[in-house]
Structure 1
Amino acid sequence: MIKLGIMGDFVASNATHIANNEAFDHAASRFGKAFQYEWVATDRIEPEFETIIHSYQGLLIAPGSPYKSMSGVLKIIEYARTHQLPVLGTCGGFQHMIIEFARNVLGITDAEHAESNPYASRLVINPLSCSLKGQQLDIEIIEKDSLVYSIFNTNTITENYYCNFGLNPEYQEQIHKAGFAMVASDKHNEARIMELKGHPFYVATLFVPQVNSNYEKPHPILIALLKAMEQYKEEGVRA
């Protein structure tokens, strides 16, 4: 059994959460292996950490921030980054994967998110100059040697957004050069997909691919995550 842990605080009225569950049902139908997903409330992550890291072969950092436990989310992201555990972050997940990287790799220990700490001096995640909530926009994949390009095998994709926050452009180049690479951007050259170099599957999307999926055409990035999880299980990677 391949098991995915969805790190997020499920809300039945949240359209992206409902779409998330449906999208992984779509992906599982094409995956062809026994697959199960479970939501893990973020305030459970720290008290149940050892159980969680040995229960799943991959993680989704779900949309829907602010989370009940930002510290729990950052801790599980750090584990996935440093232990080769496949992880996909979408919307709020994208934002928190960047904060974890800024704090623990770049040493910006006071890196913050404008949604939870708007008056912080180091807003690595800040309000977008133009809200993307409810919009569908084109994205250009700019790094042709990236895992992301191999997943989509095209230069341009069209995706749906549900967010008001993104990577502060002031930190974009610094983060990119440190290895958490901007592999896809919008027409303003702002990050829309990030990928950690040297990791089997560590991808963050500002858009929510789960809402752009159906049984006839499951979203390719979700299928790619499941395949990476299968390989992780086969290789028996553990702490």
Structure 2
Amino acid sequence: MDTKFVFVTGGVLSSVGKGIAAASIGMLFKARGYKVTAVKMDPYLNVDAGTMSPFQHGEVFVTEDGAETDLDLGHYERFLDENLSGKNNITSGKIYSHVIAKERKGDYLGSTVQVIPHVTDAIKESILYGAQGSDLAVVEIGGTVGDIESLPFLEAVRQLRRELGPNGSAVVHVTYVPILDTTQEAKTKPTQHSVKELRSIGLQPDAIILRSHLPLEEHVLEKTALFCDVPLDGVINSYDLHSVYEVPLLLEEKHLLQVLEQRLFGTSKEADISAWRNMVGMKTEKKLTIALVGKYVTLPDAYISVVEAIKHAAISKGAKVEVILISSDNLETASDSVLKETFDGIDGLVIPGGFGGRGIEGMIKVLQYARENKLPTLGICLGMQVMSIEFARNVLQLDGANSTEFDPATSYPVISLLPEQSQIENMGASMRLGAYPCTLIEGTKAQEMYKKPVVFERHRHRFEFNNLFKQKFEENGFIVSGIFEPKNLVEILELKDHPFFVGVQFHPEFKSRPMAPHPLFQGLIAQALERSAL
């Protein structure tokens, strides 16, 4: 069977939930027995998301093969329960780099290299490559219709739809419907203009998802269907819900998949979503509060996979969790009394990844408090490194201990670069990236949580624990419980005589799924529940 496509476009404004809609559509097709993949097309000229600021772009999601991608790939993996790869994220930077490299080699000799057909051909090739081996590919086009950067992608989709034939693809347009405060009236005019813009490019939507804060009345859907030339059963209202994991259930209830499946496959199967429905409806009588202390908390999307991983683990333990984001910058000069007041009532702590020296001293203060007050704590990547710095300074009494990332001249470089990383010139895609094996030490908390001898976890970092300090750490109770054997690199540290004080060099959040929570987050939540019960 040839691969079918659902192209998801956005209108009116960005960040209306296009990625969640795309992930939900893919999940519902998979629940009908189809082999599904997803592709994200990002119009920016960066080759990948790796060098972009978290304040602008949010989280960088890392795949098994080490690609630094858009955060929507995280949504796709969590909803589809499938591992994706670098081929599932296409950027203008990748496309133009490829086209220019071919031009320099002489592959276009004799031709004037242009957006059409050369750039659009490269985009179509990338879409088909990303969709290989699947019955259906959900392809999301980043940005909103009308953005100048998106035009080559939309034109490529128009051409590809023509080549695929009338039943080879469907277009789902996701737009925002504002509801006026003064009259409580829902306005469809922005959606009408957005669809008009889309149609001017040559794309007619087969379905429209109207995003709104509140449920829309039927006449709003009827008006949208009439003015946008879409059948009424193809106009779906997706309003704000308590959890993003409820979105597939809403789309199923509104019969969106029947419209799409009938068009693409000429049939309408039953979806097996009972397990998903049970997960969403799981009783959560116990309540927890987890603090996430990081550097980029002003944009919550910077930590979206971490927050979701905490939620997955809490659901699996029958708990409802509130994640409080705290800026480490604000705690740099915090007194003991301020720390006590800040973390009073907190059941667990996560220190996530990041780069650069800003806010590090605040993290050190928080970690000292957590270590001394037996607060269950998970340190991720940078978090594990700062755990090491705090322990070296305050337990081993190595005054000025630091990472060479923050203080190249430190006398006690407990975190430092590997020799090969010190030779790096280009910043992009040059870290330790993707899945590496971690061998777990028998009899440790880590081995007890994972219940297996070797695990594969995803990395995104340059700096490593300095093995010159390993013996002294272990003699004082901060033991190594996981290593990357080929280079004898420390992957996991855990503190003896503490309920849960675990630091990992990798990013476990990238492998957590709603119905398959990550063992480390489950361990954190289990200890947080014990603390909350005291």
TM-score higher than 0.5: yes
- Residue 2 in structure 1 maps to residue 288 in structure 2: yes
1:26 corresponds, among 285, 288, 312, to 312
Structure 2 counterpart SS, 1:125: strand
The Cα shift of 1:12 comes to 7.9
2:466 match: 168
Question: Within the alignment, does 1:157 sit opposite 2:448 as a pair?
Answer: no
Percent sequence identity over matched residues?
Answer: 27
Distance (whole Å) between structure 2 residues aligned to residue 166 and residue 17 of structure 1: 22
State the Cα distance separating 1:52 from its structure 2 match.
Answer: 1.6
Q: Where does residue 226 of structure 2 map in the other structure?
A: none
1:82 alignment counterpart: 372
Shift of 1:164: 0.6
Q: Structure 1, residues 57-114: CA drift from partner, whole Å, max 9, x if none?
A: 1100111133532221111101111111100101000000000100111110121111
In structure 2, the partner of 1:212 is 511
1-side partners of 2:379 and 2:339: how far apart?
19
Match of 1:222 in 2: 521
Which structure is larger by alpha-carbon Rg, 1 or 2?
2
Please tell me the root mean square deviation across aligned C-alpha atoms, in Å: 1.9
Q: Is the 8 A contact 1:7 1:40 kept in 2?
A: yes
Query: How far does the alpha carbon of each residue in 1:191-227 deviate from its partner, in whole angstroms, 9 at most, with x for none?
Result: 1000101111010000010111111211111011011
The residue type paired with residue 509 of structure 2 is Q
Instruction: Give how far 1:53 is off.
Output: 1.8
Question: When the two structures are superposed, what TM-score results if normalisation uses the length of structure 1?
Answer: 0.91
Matched, 1:141 2:440: yes
Structure 2: 5+ residue stretches without partners: 1-286, 422-430
8 Å CA contact 1:16–1:208 kept in 2: the answer is no
- CA spacing shift, 1:136–1:12, aligned 2, 3 Å: farther
Contact 2:297–2:325 (CA under 8 A) maintained in structure 1: no
Once the two structures are TM-superposed, the CA of residue 129 in structure 1 deviates from its matched residue by 4.1
What is residue 200 of structure 1 aligned with on the other side? 499
One-letter identity of the residue aligned with 1:164: R
Paired residue total: 234
Distance 2:469 2:305 in 1: 31
Match of 1:41 in 2: 327
User: What displacement does 1:11 show?
Assistant: 5.9
Residue deviations 1:132-167, cap 9 Å, x none? Answer: 53221000002x211111101110000000111111
Structure 1 residues 57 and 110, CA, compared in 2 at 3 Å: closer, same or farther?
A: same
Structure 1 unpaired stretches of 5+? none
CA deviation map 1:2-55 (0-9, x unaligned): 100001022688987221122222222212112111110002222742322203
Whether 1:68 aligns to 2:353 is no
Distance 1:67 1:231, change over 3 A: farther
Are 2:489 and 1:190 equivalent residues in the alignment?
yes
Kindly state the Cα deviation for residue 182 of structure 1 after the two structures are TM-superposed. 0.4
Determine helix, strand or coil for the equivalent of 1:134.
strand
Q: Is the 8 A contact 1:12 1:18 kept in 2?
A: no
Contact 2:357/2:406, CA 8 A, preserved across alignment: no
The alignment's TM-score, normalised by the length of structure 2, stands at 0.42
* Segment drifting more, 29-38 vs 102-111: 29-38
Which amino acid letter does the alignment assign opposite residue 38 of structure 1? I
Q: Report if the CA contact (8 A) 1:139-1:159 is conserved.
A: yes
* Higher helix proportion (structure 1 or 2): 2
Task: Say whether the 8 Å CA contact 1:16–1:63 is kept in structure 2.
Answer: no
Worse overlay, 122-131 or 36-45? 122-131
Q: Distance in 2 between matches of 1:56 and 1:37?
A: 10
1:102 aligns with 2:392: yes
Alignment correspondent of 2:24:
none
Q: Which has the higher contact order (CA 8 A, sep 6+)?
A: 1
